Amino acid sequence: MTEKLTRQPFILRNPQVLVVLAVLAVFTVAVTLLSQAYGSGVIPTSTVKVLGKTLCLALAAVAMDLVWGYLGILSLGQMAFFALGGYLIGQWLMYARTESIVAASLAQNPIPPTPAELQEGVANQIFGVVGSADLPLVWSFAHSLPIQLLLVLAVPGLLALVFGWLAFRSRVNGVYLSILTQAMTLALALWLFQNDSGFRGNNGLSGLQNIPGLDGIDQATLSVWFLWASALALALAYVLAAWLVSGKFGSVVRAIRDDETRVRFLGYPVEGFKLVVFTLAAMITAVAGALYYPQAGIINPAELMPIASIYLAVWVAIGGRGRLYGAIIGAVVVSLLSSWFTGGRAPSIHLPGYVVNWVDWWQVALGLSFVLVTLFAPKGIAGIFDRLGGILPPQRHGRDLGPDQGALQEQEAKA
Amino acid sequence: MKRLSAMLMLTSAMTLATGAMAQEGEPIRIGVLHSLSGTMAISETTLKDTVLMMVEQQNAKGGLLGRPLEAVVVDPASDWPLFAEKARELLTVSEVDAIFGCWTSVSRKSVLPVIEELNGLLFYPVQYEGEESSRNVIYTGAAPNQQAIPAVDYMMEELGVEKWALLGTDYVYPRTTNNILDAYLKQKGVAEGDIFVNYTPFGHSDWSKIVADVVALGADGKKVGVVSTINGDANVGFYKELAAAGVSADDIPVMAFSVGEEELAGLDTTNLVGHLAAWNYFQTADTPENAAFIEEWHKFIGDDKRVTNDPMEATMIGFNAWVAAVEKAGTTDVDPVLEAIVGVEVPNLTGGTATVLPNHHLTKPVLIGEIREDGQFDIVSQTEPVEGDAWTDFLPESAKLAADWPGKDCGMFNQETNTCVQAQSNY
Amino acid sequence: MIRPLIALALTLLLAMPASANPALEAVIADNLDQIEKPSRRTVEPLVAQIAATGPEGLALLQAWSGRALGVTDDGRLLIVDGDTATDAVTGAAVTDAEPKMLRPNSGVRGVIESALVAGEISSPDPARRAAALASIARDGTAEHLAALRAAPAEPDPILARQRQRVTNLLAIRFDAEPAARVAAIERMAGDVGLDFRAALNPLLATSRIAAPAEPDANIARELSIGADDFPRDAAIALLTSQGVLQPRLTPADQRNALAANVTGGTVGGIPVADLFDPAARDRAYEALEASGAVPPAATEAEADAALESHRFFEVYAEPNPDVTDAARAAQTRAQVRLAAMTGIDLGLDALSLASIYFLAAIGLAVTFGVMRVINMAHGEFIMMGAYTGYVVQTLIANRTLSLVVALPLAFAVTFGAGVVLYRLVIRHLAHRPLETLLATFGVSIALQQLAKNIFGTQARPLTAPAWLEGAVTINDVISISSIRVAIFVLALLFLGLFLFIMKRTRLGLEVRAVTQNPGMAASMGINPDRIAMMTFGLGSGIAGIAGVAIGLFAQVTSELGQQYIVQSFMTVVVGGVGNIWGTLAGAALIGGLSKVIEFLNPANTLAAQTFMILFIIIFIQFRPRGIIPQRGRAAEA
């Protein structure tokens, strides 16, 4: 009891949480005041949407950091959960919007429609475009927002739980596990690409930016609302994640990252810890996806191809692993830079005899910068903050971290 | 003779260019929304260049309404959500008056809600699956009745095909087109068992099994024909495997809807001679307009080997139709332009004219080409211009629908109940 | 004496052009429209007419089907051969005309060729006889059968056999004598050729009919209602289609009927507002039925009665039972062999896919075994190899030579790239496999974009030499393209080479030592850094070779590597690392399984890939270290 009293409060032990929350609050207020809907209109709606989406990506990056930076699992399938969240909320968005359209259209008939006719009409409207007219079984709950919201958490959580249980139980780890997570997202993507899977195949779910029941509200306002929601979700998730990794739980998790076998010998249920973090991260990622896709407007299986998850890992790496704010910085900086450079606005560089057009060369620069960051700045951008704030990683010099091969090296633990 | 006239055109263009120096006024901006990176860059970059060429030509002619044209090029990077984002940016930040863009159906479906919300104007230049008509989109590519149906008719009538293999990449265009064809063929008396359907992923490369399946269809003693909606690169492997299996166009003709001059450039065509493609334009079309267009294209791109293709023609027609409509309306505002554009007639490159119809589709002739050894097509059939039908007559649900923007202000009008199903489009 | 002769000759010469073939001229004049725009459906009589006009007509047909026929503005037909043109009617040379070339479609050309073919069967030129036989085999008629039987004996033994076969096939289809047809079927029984099956299957085609009593037709069998292939619904549908039963009332029909009978806000006494309930609709419809406003719908009792009073049969379209019996017997005999051969063909496909995966994955497996790092840029090395092949082919026109140059060059280029990547990046990330994975991913996207910038986004052609075109064909079922056979040989070659290097050379010994225990190897004087570099280069070099091989049968694009990289990972993971036999087993398992799944689900190749990956995920649960796990100390890491 006394021990608890003498312990500093969570926030004081983690001043960075306050800083992050403050920055986030200032950012949100500033964007609101400059938006078209609530302020001067300096920031156009399309930019508000980009910023809102970037916050969702940052949220996914925080979850990725939990899994990779703290638990040591380089999950290359994290975007599967992100996209699943988007698909599940998209089902309701699409169904409810279509239902209102179909109901209005059928109401013009001389005879009121039966529920079956209404559903048939909705199915025809949604799936007619991909050549089907039946509502697949997976759409059974699409009419209900509460159920779909629940599923946003439940389905990715369950997938992570089952996948994690199978993988951790058979002690698959390191590079093997990374490849396996990649296989998981690829399998899911290929499954969704099929028309028969009931998610409209390659067309995916579209028109998600039109929120049913909010027809009177324009996109300028909606985009700000979504920005608020995304900022709130990010703040909550950040606090949750910071709290989780700061306590005893966090110590065990980091210990698993540094040497799984020793933690197991100490009697901790390693698989249980891994499962909790992995599942929680999947659920956070799914929430991020559920907030992201209504702002993006469309979701299709290309969103969960392995490359998307690798980008997520790269953001976290560039931002700085093992620091939650590093993940946010990485996601924000790299995704915004990418969108600026590919937007065709970045000025071309005129070299003698050749014009470097950023649309063509941005990918090359980005790729090389990963290499440079991993080689020369393994702590990422957050490493700079570490130096500024004098926050140093725990001194572990001279201590053997485990076998001389594998993922558990000192350098990696420190980085 | 052709060269002479082209040179004459060139000199006149140059005189006009000097005249254009004196243009006054704020430039009219148009958006170019084609992927310049990612998987679709292969096809879409060409269309971006086509729009830029048209803009250059128009400016050389003195601009539009006395103002110069300026193209705002953005790169949606083959990323579908990014299409919506960039479209919004074009309409609200760059404030463009018209957008030329999109290739895949999914990118169009991504852009649609944005365009409709902000009342933009999109010219969509690619053949597509139909079942759509938006107030804010002009579809300058072929609807199914302007490509798929005539092509199948041709195979049935001229090649005597009795058994059908519908091979496609698994996405919406092949799915819907094959659905329409399936219904159409059954209506023509083809039995269920005589239609084989297969879908493969994008970029599929292992075709041995599928080609063997198609060859085995011939075991019924019926003439087999393949209708291919296989997209992009995957065609290379498919045709290579077909050639390796010794299947000639006389045994099993393949009618492709997505293989044009550009795709054949990546192939050794000696073994493909005689296979077919259906488009509304081929580079071999023998008209002075086409010769001039090809010459200008080569000059613009600085490469005499670059081919022209159907979506380029559609882009050109769309651009010219927009210019004509703007001149007719006297403004670039979307509503008057949309009002003016229906009924506009612009020359196409195959010796006729394209008329913008009330359903925002065009009239187009249907051409069937047989592949030649040099990667070009011999045009073996050319129809009179066919009116594009937004809602196919061969699927029961869409047969009763029609689109008529000037008359009914509706793109999804139920002719049975005489009601507008929805004013916005179905995305 | 001479003078009049010359005069006569001159008049003849002058007269010739005008009346060389007046019949042909007339036919052309009458049918110019159709000659310019022919249609397969209608062209046959015209072709016969032209053929009947004599040798000029035949020459015209030849030119027409060979797309060497042009039409001038004044309606003359010219046979064009390169720069020279001759008038089709007169045979006179024409120099000044600019004919519009006619392009008959392949259907029309088929008709023309088929008309010309009868005369060609007995042509002295064996090549033309072979072409004629091929044409008949493709599209034979009863007349062809007669022509074949009447033709003089074929001297060439191969052609003779082929002619015998074609004659048999035509006899099955067209002979007037049922006995001759049965005999022809029996002569060919057991054959699995596609053409034989194509002749048999139409004979065995059946249709279903419902009749009160046994019909007078060639009955295949009687159907019993409720059997697996004939459920009750199918019987009712059959009766409905024959008009015996009224169609049942569909909800849409019911709705339309109700909508047509709205009177004063009610239908059959039920308020319109209540009709959202299906039960209410039924009541309203019954009320309408009772009042006679709508026709009564078919009832269950009627359906039962109709089913009771009818028998259902499958009948052959072919009226003669002897022929169908013989055909069925022949088909049954072919079936077992056919199944076996389909299996063999599938096995070949699987073998081919496995060897491609093996080639793509072997480099990955080697580097993973030695250094525990996954090289994400491996796919881009494959792509580099393919582009090397393309570049070499643009420089060297001879395809065989270019391939001979391209293979070692691709190895050299990617070997170099691998060594550079190792020296610059991977060496500095030793023992940090996850970071290596990320860094090499950076290299991967940079290389991919670089390829796009250099070669453009369009697919580039990489064409196999002529001797690799075509396929190795055992029969109509078992066939595999030569290029795939070559890739299989290449994979075997590399397996051998690899085994040799590993077991018989010093480098191999050192590689094995480093793989098993790098620390101990280093203390024995082996430089692990150098060994790692060499293996990395070797692995990358093989990727380059794989790139050339893949480019030969698929497309060369900047995304080529991406297509194979995930499968390569799977191969390595499933097979187990550090052992070439493991990679081989992994490739065989993945290749074989993909094809089996594809076979079970032929309409959807995408589903096959999904199931494949799911299988791998589950497989890893049971063999987390792969099929052939690594043993010894290295395995513990």
Together in a domain, C423 and C454: yes
Distance CA A51, CA C519 (A): 51
Reference B172, options B228, B226, B227, B229; nearest CA is B229
Residue B100 in 3-state DSSP? strand
Together in a domain, C99 and C129: no
Domain that holds residue A153: 16-306
Distance CA C574, CA C585 (A): 8
Together in a domain, C131 and C96: no
pLDDT at B270 over 90: no
| Residue of B112, B170, B397 with shortest CB distance to A193 | B170
Q: Are B293 and B308 in contact (CB under 8 A)?
A: yes
Distance CA B377, CA B277 (A): 8
Judging contacts by C-beta atoms under 8 Å, the chain C residues touching residue A74 are 434, 437-438
How many other C-beta atoms lie within 10 A of the C-beta of residue C204? 17
Alpha-carbon distances, residue A30 vs A51, A227, A331 (angstroms): 12, 12, 20
Q: Report the number of secondary-structure helices (H) and strands (E) in chain C.
A: 25, 12
Distance CA C186, CA C197 (A): 13
End-to-end CA distance of chain C: 113
Residue A194 in 3-state DSSP? coil
End-to-end CA distance of chain B: 50
**Is the Cβ of C394 closer than 8 Å to some Cβ of chain B?**
no
Q: In what order do the strands lie in the sheet with C69-71?
A: C93-94, C84-87, C77-81, C69-71, C100-101
End-to-end CA distance of chain A: 35
Q: Which of A288-302, A349-363, B7-21, C368-382 shows the lowest per-residue confidence on average (mean pLDDT)?
A: B7-21
At residue B116 the predicted structure's pLDDT band, cuts being 50, 70 and 90, is: very high
Residue C18 burial by Cβ neighbours in a 10 Å radius (0-12, 13-18, 19+): exposed
| Residue of B73, B171, B398 with shortest CB distance to A344 | B73
Judging contacts by C-beta atoms under 8 Å, the chain C residues touching residue A374 are 429, 435, 438-439, 442
Distance CA B279, CA C390 (A): 30
Together in a domain, C397 and C446: yes
Residue B385 in 3-state DSSP? coil
| Residue of B77, B93, B117 with shortest CB distance to A44 | B93
Residue A130 in 3-state DSSP? helix
Q: Mean pLDDT in chain C?
A: 83
What chain B holds in terms of domains, given with CATH numbers, is: 2-142+285-363 (3.40.50.2300), 148-256 (3.40.50.2300)
Residue A340 burial by Cβ neighbours in a 10 Å radius (0-12, 13-18, 19+): middle
pLDDT at B322 over 90: yes
Residue type for position C48: A
Residue C12 lies in a domain: no
Highest mean pLDDT, choosing among A362-376, B13-27, B125-139 = B125-139
Give the model confidence (pLDDT) of C144-171 as tens digits.
Answer: 888 888 888 888 888 888 888 888 888 8
Nearest chain B Cα to A210, which residue? B113
Residue C39 burial by Cβ neighbours in a 10 Å radius (0-12, 13-18, 19+): middle
* Predicted pLDDT at A412: 52
According to DSSP, the β-strands at B195-200 and B353-355 are: unpaired
Interface test with C, best of A102, A108, A114 (most C CBs within 10 A): A114
Together in a domain, C384 and C465: yes
Residue type for position A284: I
Tokens standing for residue C251: 């909800």
B279's enclosing H/E stretch is: strand B276-279
Nearest chain A Cα to B107, which residue? A203
Chains in touch with B (3+ beta-carbon pairs under 8 Å) read A, C
Residue B254 in 3-state DSSP? strand
Task: State the total domains in chain A.
Answer: 1
Tokens standing for residue B225: 């024909």
* Predicted pLDDT at C537: 93
Distance CA A62, CA A245 (A): 12
State the helix-helix crossing angle for A270-296 and A45-65, rounded to 10 degrees: 170
Instruction: Give this prediction's pTM.
Output: 0.85
Give the model confidence (pLDDT) of B362-421 as tens digits.
Answer: 999 999 999 988 889 999 889 999 999 999 888 888 888 899 999 888 888 888 878 888
Q: Which of A389-393, B327-331, B348-352, C121-125 shows the lowest per-residue confidence on average (mean pLDDT)?
A: A389-393
Together in a domain, C125 and C99: no
- Residue A280 sits at the vertex; the CA angle it makes with A277 and A283, to the nearest 5 degrees, is 150
Kindly determine whether residue A206 and residue B427, on different chains, have CB atoms separated by under 8 Å.
Answer: yes
For B:177-216, CB contacts with A below 8 A are: 178-179, 199, 201
Query: Tokens 């790092």 belong to which residue?
Result: C373
* Predicted pLDDT at C603: 67
Residue C214 half-sphere exposure toward CB, CA atoms < 13 A? 5
* Predicted pLDDT at A390: 56
Distance CA C415, CA C432 (A): 23
User: Any bridge partners for residue A354, and if so which?
Assistant: A351
Together in a domain, C125 and C257: no
Domain end marker among C205, C237, C267: C205
Distance CA C245, CA C263 (A): 31
Together in a domain, C385 and C514: yes
At residue C342 the predicted structure's pLDDT band, cuts being 50, 70 and 90, is: confident
Kindly determine whether residue C346 and residue B209, on different chains, have CB atoms separated by under 8 Å.
Answer: yes
- Residue C302 sits at the vertex; the CA angle it makes with C298 and C308, to the nearest 5 degrees, is 145
At residue B9 the predicted structure's pLDDT band, cuts being 50, 70 and 90, is: very low
pLDDT at C2 over 80: no
Distance CA B14, CA B17 (A): 5
Residue B158, min C-alpha distance to chain A (Å): 29
Residue A396 lies in a domain: no
Reference C599, options C390, C374, C346, C220; nearest CA is C346
Phi, psi of C179 (to 5 degrees): -65, -40
Assign 3-class secondary structure to C21-79: CHHHHHHHHHHHHHHHCCCCCCHHHHHHHHHHCCHHHHHHHHHHHCCCEEECCCCCEEE
**Is the Cβ of C453 closer than 8 Å to some Cβ of chain B?**
no
Q: Are C532 and C369 in contact (CB under 8 A)?
A: no
Q: Which long-range contacts (CB under 8 A, 24 or more apart) does C524-531 make?
A: C529/C427, C531/C370, C531/C507
Distance CA C517, CA C531 (A): 13
pLDDT at A259 over 70: yes
In sign, the C-alpha dihedral spanning C560, C535, C503, C431 is: negative
Provide the percentage of residues in chain C whose pLDDT is more than 70: 95
Domain that holds residue C526: 338-565
Together in a domain, C342 and C444: yes
Tokens standing for residue B130: 């139909």
Distance CA B411, CA B399 (A): 14
Domain end marker among C111, C136, C158: C111
DSSP A113: P
Kindly determine whether residue B45 and residue C457, on different chains, have CB atoms separated by under 8 Å.
Answer: yes
**Is the Cβ of B84 closer than 8 Å to some Cβ of chain A?**
yes
Give the model confidence (pLDDT) of A5-51 as tens digits.
Answer: 456 677 777 788 899 999 999 999 999 999 988 888 889 888 899 99
Residue A6 lies in a domain: no
pLDDT at B289 over 80: yes
Residue A148 lies in a domain: yes
Distance CA C133, CA C165 (A): 10
* Predicted pLDDT at A282: 97
Domain end marker among C548, C565, C582: C565
Name every residue whose Cβ is closer than 8 Å to that of residue B251 and which is 6 or more positions away in sequence.
Answer: B218, B224, C138
Distance CA C499, CA C505 (A): 10
Interface test with B, best of A109, A126, A300 (most B CBs within 10 A): A300
Kindly determine whether residue B158 and residue C479, on different chains, have CB atoms separated by under 8 Å.
Answer: no
Judging contacts by C-beta atoms under 8 Å, the chain C residues touching residue B160 are 40, 107, 110
Residue A410 lies in a domain: no
Task: State the total domains in chain C.
Answer: 4
Distance CA A5, CA C131 (A): 99
Distance CA C101, CA C275 (A): 67
Residue A113 lies in a domain: yes
Higher-confidence residue: B51 or A388?
B51
Together in a domain, C365 and C505: yes
Residue B124 in 3-state DSSP? strand
Give the model confidence (pLDDT) of B209-266 as tens digits.
Answer: 889 889 888 888 788 999 999 887 788 888 888 888 888 888 899 999 988 888 887 6
Give the model confidence (pLDDT) of C270-300 as tens digits.
Answer: 888 888 888 888 888 888 888 877 877 767 7
Give the model confidence (pLDDT) of A283-316 as tens digits.
Answer: 999 999 999 999 999 998 989 888 899 889 989 9
Give the model confidence (pLDDT) of A202-226 as tens digits.
Answer: 888 988 998 988 888 888 999 999 9
Kindly determine whether residue B113 and residue A343, on different chains, have CB atoms separated by under 8 Å.
Answer: no
Provide the percentage of residues in chain A whose pLDDT is more than 90: 43
Distance CA C422, CA C430 (A): 10
Interface test with B, best of C250, C553, C566, C594 (most B CBs within 10 A): C553
Distance CA C389, CA C549 (A): 9
CA A153 to chain CA centroid, nearest Å: 13
Together in a domain, C92 and C139: no
Give the model confidence (pLDDT) of B28-77 as tens digits.
Answer: 999 999 988 777 777 888 999 999 999 999 999 989 998 999 999 888 88
Residue A320 lies in a domain: no
B19's enclosing H/E stretch is: helix B2-20
pLDDT at C10 over 70: no
Give the model confidence (pLDDT) of C22-37 as tens digits.
Answer: 888 888 888 888 888 8
Judging contacts by C-beta atoms under 8 Å, the chain B residues touching residue C386 are none
Reference A55, options A20, A81, A88, A13; nearest CA is A20
Tokens standing for residue B361: 């589709």
SS3 content of chain A, % helix, strand, coil (to 5): 70, 5, 25
Q: Are B356 and B362 in contact (CB under 8 A)?
A: yes
**Is the Cβ of C625 closer than 8 Å to some Cβ of chain B?**
no
Residue A61, min C-alpha distance to chain C (Å): 16
Distance CA B24, CA B64 (A): 11
Reference B386, options B339, B352, B349; nearest CA is B352
Residue type for position B164: W
pLDDT at C382 over 90: yes
* Predicted pLDDT at C520: 87
Together in a domain, C129 and C104: no
